[in-house]
Structure 1
Amino acid sequence: MSVRPLPQSTPAAQGVDADGVHAFLDALEASPDIAPHSLMILRHGHLVASGWWAPYAQDRLHLLYSLSKSFTATAAGLAAAEGLIRLDDPVISYFPEFEADITDPRSRAMLVRHVASMSSGHVAETLDRAQAIDREELVRGFLMVPPDRDPGTVFAYNQPATYTLAAIVQRVTGQSLIDYLRPRLFEPLGIGEAVWQRDRAGRDLGFSGLHSTTDAVLRLGQLYLQNGVWEGERLLPASWVAEATRPQVSNADGSPGGTDWKQGYGLQFWMSRHGYRGDGAYGQFCVVLPEHDAVIAITEETVQMQQVLDLIWEHLLPAFRPAPLSGREQTDAALAERLAGLALPPAAGKPAPAERAEEWATVEFAPGEPSARTTSVEVAAGADGTRLTLVEDGHRIELRLVENGWNVAEEPVPTAVSGGWTDTGTLEADVIFLETPHRLTLTCSLPDRTFTARWHTQPLHPLPLHAMGAPRSF
């Protein structure tokens, strides 16, 4: 389906100071620990700023990691509105086939509300323990891990809790999360393609694995900001929005100050020092600011997620003014021009060394360290540039280095590559897997014919390289 564009406006017309957005962009790009991929800002229902750092692009799906959880919560809210689930039902009531196995009284007392709010009674993540008990049926494995406390009394960020909520929705609807959400959420909101990674049981993961556009993230946030109403039509009950976006359980640890991960947890939404948010590993954000009538969607690659939120509070919050601004035409135009030209700097590197051209013409490199999953790297010079081929268990990813920029390829998985020679014996290239937040640096050494491979951030889903993209890509 075609995506309906959001209403657009200049920042000044919606009371947004473009200088604050410039300052935010400056801070993102100045940080050595942040590689921004996209930014969209909605104010008073109007898109006032949007940009993608090339080689990322507007229509490119992006792995959301745990921001997927907020979409799962929305599916649960829709199922609740249809009378298919109730927050105060015992979880075990949806899985009667496990009745004989689940004997712990706390597990049997666990409610849908508890798995939706990360208050199952466990005091720590249970994924490894649940998988060890039953790798084929994670719900059973999770319910067989006895909670440490009474459900509802303690917070612990816990992937199987969300997985169980997602499994309940998929069981009562008879559909995958994607199929259930499409006519009820994606189509009414004007969201295009979205795909979800599945597990061994054939279920959409729920707690992670959703690939969608930044635009989809922004629209979800705006739906919640509008209390579940979109273009005059109620999609979500106002009561669900209120429950999802208020603290259901405390996650404060008593330390002074407190970060944005210590402000309370709703139903698959985090409470923030300002507003609330969904977020995912390595900096995927949907920040909803009711007090400013604004939504901010960000994708990026960073482990410094608190730093990103701090920059939002420092630069963007003051930019939201109570009334339209006058005389800002040039400032708004300058911001629009900047946003249209955003780009990640390509990896550094020099052209192929002429004095060693014959040695580099065709060469194969073996792994220089046991942890490298790629079994070999081939380099071949040609009229159209240097070809860099990654070989992994018989699968080949063929890349082509061009001077001074990123070269994008779509098959077998969307990638962008840049790089060159750091000296006459060393070729270094960065490979971005464009439907994920991840970048791989390859270093090939001519003297010993070996290569090393280093992830800038470690992928949380252990996939082969040719499958490092949205599931429909392979």
Structure 2
Amino acid sequence: MMPSVSLAADWPIAAPTALGFEADLAEKLDAGFRSGLLNGLHSVLIARKGQMVLERYYKGQDESWGAPLGVVEFTPETLHDLRSVTKSIVGLLYGIALDRGLVPPPSAPLLPLFPDYPDLAADPQRARLTVGQALAMTLGLAWDEMRPYTDPANSEIAMENAPDRYRFILEQPIAAEPGTRWTYSGGAVALIGAIIARGTGQSLPDFLKTALLAPLGIEAFEWASGQDGIPSAASGLRLRPRDLLRIGQLVLNQGAWGNRQIISAAWLAATATPETKTEEDGFEYSRLWWLGRLPTPALPGPRRWIGGLGNGGQRLWLMPDADLVAVIHCGNYNAPDQWVTPLRVWREIVLGNLRSV
């Protein structure tokens, strides 16, 4: 088992060569930004073996859950939208709540946890829905987030505008046999957020603060809420990049931080085990985390990564075999090529410059 590593509060940055990277790692990243190949880049942080190896901040246009912020000069203290990386953190919160016996296991039926909708629970097909299917996004309910998030017909936006978000989600037409087909769904995550809040007796932000952030020494965060006052479990969280890196290190540590087990290793092992293939080529999914494989010069053959991915180019990427965590923030919200910059940073700068393990 990997020893627990608690990143130092003062975040000393080690020489890249001391951690197996090319010496000019930062220079290559800066050159990519200046050239325009890393369009919209806001920040990049890399930690390896529990030590910071690179921390870079840039300047650019930003938003806070869709509200323009203008041009921002990013620093270690700047909160940044996580967008759908929020989903992955909600997956961790469910694991913590389950460890404490506050929420049901993934095998539990879903509809009994929403007793306000007996008409929906009476539907034999909906009665077969489970918590685990919501965590894997395989509920089989119709949902369309392929439209831009500026389009009111986007299912997540329609959910946010609905008078009752949970009824809106649960009454969607059944489009596939439950458990058989992955469909990207902020609605599934909203259901998980509600189960956590009801089971713990705390709002989602309050449970995040007490159960996850405080044990990691994290104080600053924001969580956007919809018109109904309910925090958006799908996309509303804002954190400082260093603090997101801490959460990634916690996952890499199999849930341990110092001498404290914050999340059970069993939950994280299940999270890192693919449950379903996604509509994205080569990507898999489990418990609100993305999984895949990529080559790196430091290791033979493609190696598994696990990550949280968010609109605009927000990324939390981990490669356990390389003892590696990376945080990438960008401002390319809703752009069709928003995936290009973070993938270039991850593949060409981070993995491409790692030379030894």
Tell me the TM-score normalised to structure 2 length.
0.81
Q: Which amino acid aligns with 2:324?
A: A
Match of residue 264 from structure 1: 284
Match of residue 306 from structure 2: 276
1:198 aligns with 2:209: no
Q: Identify which range, 285-294 or 33-42, moves more after superposition.
A: 33-42
| Counterpart secondary structure, 1:273 | strand
Which one of the candidate residues 269, 282, 296 is aligned to 1:242? Answer: 269
Shift of 1:156: 0.6
Shift of 1:93: 1.6
The 1:50/1:129 distance shift into structure 2, 3 A limit, reads closer
Shift of 1:223: 0.8
Shift of 1:220: 1.1
Shift of 1:7: 5.5
Shift of 1:237: 0.7
Q: Identify which range, 19-28 or 270-279, moves more after superposition.
A: 19-28
The 1:133/1:74 distance shift into structure 2, 3 A limit, reads closer
1:108 aligns with 2:127: yes
CA deviation map 1:327-379 (0-9, x unaligned): xxxxxxxxxxxxxxxxxxxxxxxxxxxxxxxxxxxxxxxxxxxxxxxxxxxxx
Task: Confirm or deny: 8 A CA contact 1:136 1:200 kept in the other structure.
Answer: no
| Counterpart secondary structure, 1:285 | strand
Task: Tell me which structure has the larger Cα radius of gyration.
Answer: 1
Q: Which amino acid aligns with 1:64?
A: L
Which one of the candidate residues 81, 87, 106 is aligned to 2:106? Answer: 87
Task: Confirm or deny: 8 A CA contact 1:117 1:267 kept in the other structure.
Answer: yes
Instruction: Give 5+ residue unaligned stretches, structure 2.
Output: 1-7, 60-72, 146-153, 295-304
Match of residue 233 from structure 1: 260
Which one of the candidate residues 94, 113, 127 is aligned to 1:76? Answer: 94
Q: Which amino acid aligns with 1:213?
A: R
Task: Confirm or deny: 8 A CA contact 1:102 1:143 kept in the other structure.
Answer: no
Match of residue 200 from structure 2: 173
Task: Confirm or deny: 8 A CA contact 1:134 1:140 kept in the other structure.
Answer: no
1:188 aligns with 2:215: yes
1:49 aligns with 2:54: yes
Match of residue 329 from structure 1: none
Q: Which amino acid aligns with 2:347?
A: W
Distance in 2 (alpha carbons) for counterparts of 1:84 and 1:176: 14
Distance in 1 (alpha carbons) for counterparts of 2:112 and 2:220: 34
Distance in 2 (alpha carbons) for counterparts of 1:212 and 1:170: 20
Distance in 2 (alpha carbons) for counterparts of 1:299 and 1:174: 32
Match of residue 306 from structure 1: 339
Which one of the candidate residues 312, 316, 337 is aligned to 1:286? Answer: 316
CA deviation map 1:222-275 (0-9, x unaligned): 11111111113211011111122221111157xxxx3xxx41111111113331
1:141 aligns with 2:160: no
Distance in 2 (alpha carbons) for counterparts of 1:78 and 1:49: 30
Which one of the candidate residues 16, 33, 36 is aligned to 1:11? Answer: 16
Instruction: Give 5+ residue unaligned stretches, structure 1.
Output: 324-474
Match of residue 40 from structure 2: 35
1:59 aligns with 2:86: no
Task: Confirm or deny: 8 A CA contact 2:142 2:175 kept in the other structure.
Answer: yes
Task: Confirm or deny: 8 A CA contact 1:218 1:286 kept in the other structure.
Answer: yes
Task: Confirm or deny: 8 A CA contact 1:29 1:36 kept in the other structure.
Answer: no
Task: Confirm or deny: 8 A CA contact 1:73 1:268 kept in the other structure.
Answer: yes
The 1:102/1:231 distance shift into structure 2, 3 A limit, reads same
Distance in 1 (alpha carbons) for counterparts of 2:327 and 2:159: 36
Task: Confirm or deny: 8 A CA contact 1:104 1:146 kept in the other structure.
Answer: no
Task: Confirm or deny: 8 A CA contact 1:247 1:264 kept in the other structure.
Answer: yes
CA deviation map 1:422-453 (0-9, x unaligned): xxxxxxxxxxxxxxxxxxxxxxxxxxxxxxxx
CA deviation map 1:64-94 (0-9, x unaligned): 1111111111111111111122111111121
Which one of the candidate residues 236, 239, 246 is aligned to 1:212? Answer: 239
Equivalenced residue count is 314
Q: Which amino acid aligns with 1:16?
A: F
Task: Confirm or deny: 8 A CA contact 2:120 2:126 kept in the other structure.
Answer: no
| Counterpart secondary structure, 1:50 | strand
Task: Confirm or deny: 8 A CA contact 2:312 2:339 kept in the other structure.
Answer: no
User: Pairwise mapping of residues 349-428 of structure 1 onto structure 2 (< 5 A)?
Assistant: none
Which one of the candidate residues 114, 118, 133 is aligned to 1:99? Answer: 118
Match of residue 355 from structure 2: 321
Shift of 1:188: 1.3
Shift of 1:172: 1.0
The 1:211/1:311 distance shift into structure 2, 3 A limit, reads closer
The 1:301/1:205 distance shift into structure 2, 3 A limit, reads same
Identity %: 27
Task: Confirm or deny: 8 A CA contact 1:152 1:249 kept in the other structure.
Answer: no
Q: Which amino acid aligns with 1:315?
A: I
Q: Which amino acid aligns with 1:263?
A: F
The 1:252/1:281 distance shift into structure 2, 3 A limit, reads closer
